[in-house]
Structure 1
Amino acid sequence: MPILILIATVLLPPLGVAAKHGLGGTALLNLVLTLLGYIPGLIHGLSVNYAK
């Protein structure tokens, strides 16, 4: 399951964030960042899902 979330985060960052954290503020923020540019959304998605 963690590998699927990683793949989803890389391909479509809001999907990966929503899969791990649900449809809340974090997913909405990631959606906005992804709409502004793929790279900001990707960085946010990876940091939210995998930084400790």
Structure 2
Amino acid sequence: MDSSKIVNIIIALFLPPLAVFLAKGWGTECIVDLILTILFFFPGMLYALYIVLSSN
């Protein structure tokens, strides 16, 4: 695991939409995470961690 992924995991814990944006760019994943974070923070955080850990 490289240092950029570790930093992205830390960002995913505090600012989930930013972590998804950094991992995948502006797209469907980022919009879904933004909606999840606005509705309730915890699902947005879990989705962001999933995206960050599954990205190449």
TM-score when normalising by structure 1: 0.89
User: What is the alpha-carbon root mean square deviation over aligned residues?
Assistant: 1.4
Which one scores higher on RCO, CA 8 angstroms, separation ≥ 6? 2
2:20 pairs with 1:17: yes
Runs (5+) with no aligned partner, structure 2: none
TM-score when normalising by structure 2: 0.83
**Partner of residue 5, structure 1:** 8
Runs (5+) with no aligned partner, structure 1: none
Distance across 2 between alignment mates of 1:4 and 1:47:
15
- The percent identity for this pair of structures is 31
Q: Given residue 15 of structure 1, which amino acid in structure 2 is its aligned partner?
A: L
